[in-house]
């Protein structure tokens, strides 16, 4: 949290800037557009294709493209398209490299006005991200610095703001992490976190006084609670809008006007793993203040058609996943025996399993038309949870569904030990499934707020 001393400094500087703004108010500036629609996306995390939940597949860049096009066409006035950050996970593994190439190309195609460098994105080296920016993705962040090798001075890693004009009215879009957790992550080379606060406050005043902007929009990847985001936003009275925070319900809407509108207008429901599209309609005064607004979210379900242009790009991504990743070759499928072998000695446990969702995991993929999404397959079969992806045609038929051995471990040695056919002195079976066996798949965004101690009791044999 920002210290009390800094809070006092903010207030002092705010008063000074307000006095300065009064002088600047005499300067002639074009009037703000009467209506401005801000379309925002968040937390893509490399998901090029839809990702699955119990409620079906959601998200995906092709659906996003259609939803964005519809939002632009129906806009009552000017439009700005932004992303609050974490469009990648920052990993450098084989799958992530494929994902980031496709996500970057898709963002270029969609024409974003500004994309924040989130904490996850900053785990990639600065030079890599700058190369992405050179390809056309307009990165911005006032939250990271790097040390100039020639001068030894600390400088911003990325542009602190992107300035766009709507009806000749200049608007600054500022990216920032606004979080105290940056120092806890291993950031990529060239990315050094700064304290979000006073430095950014000073920058905002410069955007008005030097750049001559009429309003400032802050986009941040901070995924804190509603209350925490509002507290942080209150530190930046010179901002017009701030978009950040945790996820919102897909059907969440909000309408406010007049005195009900906070300053800055804070939208604390941004993140949703790339599965929703936020639409914020602003009614602006001539000077760029928010008079009223309407907020809604579009849930990217299968009701939204895929954009044909991006479908071709995603087809290329899927084709790249048509062969197995390197580590699949290291998985020894001979150590698995299948649930039918377990049934011989454990008939009641087998019946419990048969009645569980685990026994229908492969069928669920078929129902969701996700068999061709190679990144979904590993969590719907036995023995492959460590694989990044697996093409459907490489799945051993006896291992479809999440079988007994997904929880208790490979059963070959157990069967041989119990039957006396093996040479081993132990059966190497886990009577109680360890948490690590579950969290390989039961994580966000597939299973929200999953707790081992709660869910274990629900799947424990004899409790169905």
Check whether residue 55 and residue 172 sit in a common domain. Answer: yes
Q: Do both 297 and 334 map to the same domain?
A: no
Most confident of 66-75, 93-102, 392-401: 66-75
Query: In the prediction, which pLDDT does 29 show?
Result: 73
* Boundary residue ending a domain (282, 311, 340): 311
Average pLDDT over residues 132-139: 91
**What is the per-residue pLDDT for 195?**
57
Mean pLDDT of the 241-250 span: 86
pLDDT, the chain, mean: 87
Instruction: Look at residues 285, 311, 337 and tell me which one is the last residue of a structural domain.
Output: 311
Task: Answer yes or no: is 209 within a domain.
Answer: yes
CA distances from 445 to 54, 140, 310 (A): 11, 26, 23
**Percentage with pLDDT > 70 across the chain:** 88
Quick one: 258 and 208 in the same domain? yes
Query: Who wins on pLDDT, 14 or 284?
Result: 284
Tell me what the mean pLDDT of segment 147-175 comes to.
93
Comparing CA positions, the residue from 49, 58, 48, 38 lying closest to residue 272 is 58
Name the residue range of residue 289's domain. 27-311
Is the same domain home to 108 and 168?
A: yes
What is the residue-wise DSSP string for 243-258?
EEEE---TT-EEEEEG
For residue 221, is it within any domain? yes
Q: Looking at the structure, do residues 143 and 187 belong to the same domain, yes or no? A: yes
More confident residue, 121 or 332: 121
Q: What is the pLDDT of residue 80?
A: 98
- Quick one: tokens of 176? 């920032």
Element (H, E) at 149: none
Tell me the mean pLDDT in the region 145-173: 93
Residue 239: the pLDDT is 96
Q: Are residues 137 and 197 in the same domain?
A: yes
* 464 is a domain residue: no
Q: What is the pLDDT of residues 368-386, one digit of tens each?
A: 878 888 999 999 999 998 8
Tallying the residues shown for the chain, one arrives at: 464
3 is a domain residue: no
Pair 279, 402 in one domain: no
pLDDT, tens digit (0-9, with 9 covering 90-100), for 298-315? 999 999 999 999 999 999
* 17 falls within a domain: no
Buried b (16+ CB within 10 A) or exposed e, 23-33: eeeeeebeebb
Residues 249 and 365 in one domain: no
Q: Are residues 334 and 273 in the same domain?
A: no
pTM value surpassing 0.95: no
pLDDT score, position 306 = 95
Q: What is the pLDDT of residues 27-56, one digit of tens each?
A: 567 999 999 999 999 999 999 999 876 667
CATH number at residue 169: 3.60.21.10
Distance in angstroms (rounded) separating the CA atoms of residues 17 and 202: 9
Radius of gyration of the chain (CA): 26
Of 119, 363, 347, the C-alpha closest to 220 is: 119
Whether the pLDDT of residue 247 is over 60: the answer is yes
Of 311, 341, 367, the domain-final residue: 311
182 and 258 in a single domain? The answer is yes
Domain membership flag for residue 321: no
Specify the DSSP element, H or E, that contains 359. none
Same domain, 303 and 342: no
Same domain for 207 and 101? yes
Number of domains within the chain: 2
* pLDDT recorded at residue 3: 47
């Amino acid at each position: 949290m920002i210290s009390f001393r800094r809070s006092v400094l903010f207030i002092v500087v705010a008063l000074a800037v307000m006095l300065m703004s009064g002088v600047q108010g005499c300067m002639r500036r074009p009037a703000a557009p009467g209506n401005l629609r801000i379309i925002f996306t968040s937390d893509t995390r490399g998901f090029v294709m839809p990702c699955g939940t119990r409620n079906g597949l959601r998200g995906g860049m092709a659906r996003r493209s259609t939803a964005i096009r519809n939002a632009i066409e129906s806009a009552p006035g000017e439009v700005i398209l932004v992303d609050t950050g974490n469009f990648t996970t920052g990993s450098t593994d084989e799958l992530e490299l494929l994902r980031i190439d496709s996500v970057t190309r898709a963002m270029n195609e969609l024409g974003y006005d500004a994309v924040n460098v989130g904490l996850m994105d900053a785990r990639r080296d600065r030079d890599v991200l700058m190369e992405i920016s050179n390809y056309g993705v307009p990165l911005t962040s006032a939250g990271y610095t790097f040390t100039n090798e020639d001068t030894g001075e600390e400088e911003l890693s990325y542009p602190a703001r992107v300035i766009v004009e709507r009806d000749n009215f200049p608007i600054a879009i500022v990216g920032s992490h606004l979080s105290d957790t940056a120092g806890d992550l291993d950031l990529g080379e060239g990315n050094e976190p700064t304290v979000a606060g006073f430095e950014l406050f000073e920058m905002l005043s410069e955007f008005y006084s030097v750049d001559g902007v009429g309003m400032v929009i802050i986009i941040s990847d901070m995924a804190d609670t509603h209350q925490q985001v509002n507290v942080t936003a209150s530190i930046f009275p010179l901002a017009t809008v701030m978009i950040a925070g945790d996820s919102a319900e897909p059907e969440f809407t909000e309408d406010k006007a007049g005195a009900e509108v906070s300053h800055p207008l804070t939208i604390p429901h941004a993140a949703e793993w790339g599965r929703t599209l936020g639409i914020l309609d602003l009614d602006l005064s001539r000077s760029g203040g928010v008079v009223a607004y309407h907020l809604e979210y579009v849930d990217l379900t299968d009701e939204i058609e895929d954009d044909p242009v991006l479908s071709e790009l995603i087809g290329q991504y899927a084709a790249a996943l048509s062969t197995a990743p390197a580590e699949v070759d290291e998985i020894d499928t001979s150590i698995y025996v299948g649930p039918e072998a377990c049934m011989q000695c454990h008939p009641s446990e087998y019946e419990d399993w048969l009645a569980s969702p685990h026994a229908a995991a492969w069928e669920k993929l078929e129902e969701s038309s996700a068999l061709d999404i190679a990144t979904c397959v590993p969590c719907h079969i036995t023995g492959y949870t460590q694989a990044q992806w697996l093409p459907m045609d490489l799945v051993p038929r006896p291992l479809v569904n999440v079988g007994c051995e997904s929880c208790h471990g490979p059963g070959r040695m157990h069967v041989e030990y119990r039957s006396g056919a093996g040479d081993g002195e132990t059966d190497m079976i886990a009577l109680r499934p360890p948490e690590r066996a579950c969290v390989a798949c039961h994580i966000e965004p597939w299973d929200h707020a999953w707790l081992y101690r709660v869910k274990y009791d629900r799947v424990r044999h004899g409790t169905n």
